[in-house]
């Protein structure tokens, strides 16, 4: 029987990269995609997966 080891990913939440670094560097933890859109607001770099919408502040 396979145990569920992944945590639930809340797509409305912005994760802090220092606390939740990428499982695979440069890839979305949820979708394993490397296709992101990025923005900077108030000095914070925000990376959003274009496939699922998961956000991380870098």
Per-residue pLDDT of the chain (58 residues; tens, 9 = 90+): 444 445 688 999 999 999 999 999 999 999 999 999 999 989 999 999 999 999 999 9
What length is written for the chain?
58
Read off the pTM: 0.79
Q: What is the C-alpha separation between 28 and 9, in angstroms, rounded? A: 11
Query: From start to end of the chain, where are the E strands?
Result: 14-16, 36-41, 44-49, 55-57
If residue 24 lies in a helix (H) or strand (E), which one and from where to where? none
Question: What's residue 7's pLDDT?
Answer: 65
């Amino acid at each position: 029987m396979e145990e569920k080891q992944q945590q639930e990913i809340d797509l409305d939440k912005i994760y802090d990269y220092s606390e939740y670094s990428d499982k695979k560097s440069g890839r979305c933890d949820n979708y394993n995609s490397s296709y992101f859109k990025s923005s900077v607001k108030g000095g914070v770099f925000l990376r959003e997966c274009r496939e699922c919408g998961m956000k991380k502040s870098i």
